[in-house]
Amino acid sequence: MRSEMKWVLNTMPESGDAQLKIMGCANVAAARAFHESFPQYAVTPCTSLTRMAGHLGVSSLHVKDESHRFGLNAFKVLGGSFAMARYIAGQTGRSLAECTYGYLTGPELVHDFGQTTFFTATDGNHGRGVAWAARQLGQKAVVHMPKGTTKSRFDNIAALGADVTIEELNYDDCVRLAASEAAETEHGVVVQDTAWEGYEEIPAWIMQGYGTMASEAAEQLAADGIDAPTHVLVQAGVGSLAGAVVGYLAHRYADAVPRFIVMETAAADCLYRGACAGDGSMRAVAGDLATIMAGLACGEPNIISWDILRNHADAFVSCPDWMSALGMRMLAAPLTGDPAITSGESGAIGMGVLATIMTDPAYAQLKDSLAFDENSKVLLFSTEGDTDPGRYREIVWGGAWTSPAATL
């Protein structure tokens, strides 16, 4: 039985939109200025796939390629590093502008701040970013990973000096474990890229850190002669990335707001389920959350992001694993003349979704509802490279998950 992409247009009632201001242009500019103080900082590519755009029947197609970010092969470090800097600024009484890379890695920080243990849960990339930032700043990191985590993802974090474990828990329960341990540890702080009632400040900072990526992409599109994209496809786990991208671009392109399509793995499609219910309330997905899209295997939404998305997303889609595998192969072996992009399981879903919408008659209604046509200017975010090299080769070289009916 073919596993299909499921979709729903956003008909939820609007809220007061109180969270949108978190992703205001000034807040994102401050995050980007912080990141620019790092010697490792460089703007990641926003690659134009001209021939692929023509093949799919759109005007332009750009892919923001985060495999180049800080040498960590994924975008997540943008959020964790900025949140840690904001936390340290508050604890030391310094302004954010003073908390540059030079200060945070220098002897003054030890005198002013001492040492903290940062706790987090991760499917891979967020924990790697937190561990990297903690090591740069001379801090400690404890990282809990859910069952089913591959050895390569574990090793990537352990190599950065973090205390890392794989638990017999799913992602959301690992979040609860990290929060509990942080609360019981002297100078313990949880740095998590989701938000719940009573834990909102640090997740908001993490989202602002993600805004650096969206800010770069907007500038790169402008340099390519695109004043504003017409369609932005962005993936979601808890929704922090999606809320950050949608929130910032809604500000940036206020006079020509793009259509926003939020994509999830079918194994953890909590945002899609909330949108299907249509009442504006969040829904959760429990269980093992088994999917090749490890970075999206999160069953409980970020309450900040949910509020942004319910007000500004145009559609939510729930995606089977074969669509991610399709996107990976399309980006790895593009049409002649387009550059190849190494995109991992959670990074390539946008390519798979776009190709499916544009070429499969079964989704003609979705295509028409979102006004995809030859004038569309599309932006995708490839949020990770081959962060699990073995699985990447298994999919791209070996053809795993080619069949729509394939299962884990």
pTM of structure: 0.96
Instruction: Look at residue 403 and tell me if it is in a domain.
Output: no
Strands across the sheet containing 377-382: 6-9, 315-319, 259-265, 231-235, 377-382, 60-65, 46-48
Residue 320 and residue 353 in contact, taking contact as beta carbons nearer than 8 Å: no
Residue 403: the pLDDT is 63
Same domain, 169 and 36: no
More confident residue, 408 or 10: 10
Q: What percent of the chain has pLDDT over 70?
A: 98
Same domain, 219 and 271: yes
Residue 404: the pLDDT is 59
Q: Which of these ranges, 113-117, 246-250, 263-267, has the smallest mean pLDDT?
A: 113-117
131-143 CB burial, b ≥16 within 10 A, e <16: bbbbbbbebbbbb
* Three-class secondary structure of residue 183 per DSSP: helix
Q: How confident is the model at residue 2 (pLDDT cuts 50, 70, 90)?
A: low
Instruction: Identify the domain boundary among 166, 195, 224.
Output: 195
pLDDT at 405 over 90: no
Residue 29 β-bridge partners: none
Q: How confident is the model at residue 373 (pLDDT cuts 50, 70, 90)?
A: very high
Residue 283: how many CA atoms within 13 Å on its side-chain side? Answer: 15
Per DSSP, 67 falls in state: G
Residues annotated as catalytic (active site), given as ranges: 76, 123
Same domain, 341 and 229: yes
pLDDT at 376 over 90: yes
Same domain, 242 and 315: yes
Q: What is the dihedral of CA 360, 357, 296, 195, to 10 degrees?
A: -150
Q: Give the structural domain span for 174.
A: 77-195
List Cα–Cα distances, 118 to 132, 199, 289, 298, in angstroms.
11, 15, 25, 21
pLDDT at 209 over 80: yes
Instruction: Look at residue 344 and tell me if it is in a domain.
Output: yes
Residue 378 β-bridge partners: 61, 231
Same domain, 120 and 177: yes
Residue 133: the pLDDT is 92
Same domain, 333 and 392: yes
Distance CA 26, CA 31 (A): 9
Same domain, 30 and 178: no
As a whole number, the mean pLDDT across the chain is: 95
List Cα–Cα distances, 383 to 59, 106, 380, in angstroms.
23, 30, 9
Structure tokens, 64: 């923001």
Q: How far is CA 226 from the centre of its chain?
A: 23
Distance CA 266, CA 13 (A): 24
Tens digit of pLDDT for each residue in 148-184? 898 999 999 999 999 999 999 999 999 999 999 999 9
Same domain, 361 and 345: yes
Instruction: Look at residue 1 and tell me if it is in a domain.
Output: no
Same domain, 181 and 242: no
Instruction: Identify the domain boundary among 180, 195, 210.
Output: 195
Please give the average per-residue pLDDT across 312-318, as a whole number. Answer: 98
Residue 408: the pLDDT is 36
Helix axes 201-223, 77-92, angle to 10 degrees: 130
For the chain, the domain total comes to 2
Same domain, 302 and 389: yes
Residue 3: the pLDDT is 79
Instruction: Look at residue 301 and tell me if it is in a domain.
Output: yes
Closest CA to 313 of 241, 351, 262: 262
Residue 379 β-bridge partners: 62, 232
Structure tokens, 99: 């908390």
Closest CA to 74 of 85, 65, 83: 65
CATH number for 315? 3.40.50.1100
Instruction: Look at residue 402 and tell me if it is in a domain.
Output: no
Distance CA 301, CA 193 (A): 10
Q: How confident is the model at residue 406 (pLDDT cuts 50, 70, 90)?
A: very low
Please give the average per-residue pLDDT across 141-154, as a whole number. Answer: 93
Instruction: Look at residue 406 and tell me if it is in a domain.
Output: no
Q: How confident is the model at residue 282 (pLDDT cuts 50, 70, 90)?
A: very high
83-121 CB burial, b ≥16 within 10 A, e <16: bbbbbbbeebebebeebbbebbeeeebeeebeebbbbbb
Residue 10 and residue 314 in contact, taking contact as beta carbons nearer than 8 Å: yes
Bridging pattern class, strands 117-121 and 6-9: unpaired
Please give the average per-residue pLDDT across 281-298, as a whole number. Answer: 94
Same domain, 65 and 132: no
Same domain, 226 and 154: no
Instruction: Identify the domain boundary among 195, 210, 230.
Output: 195
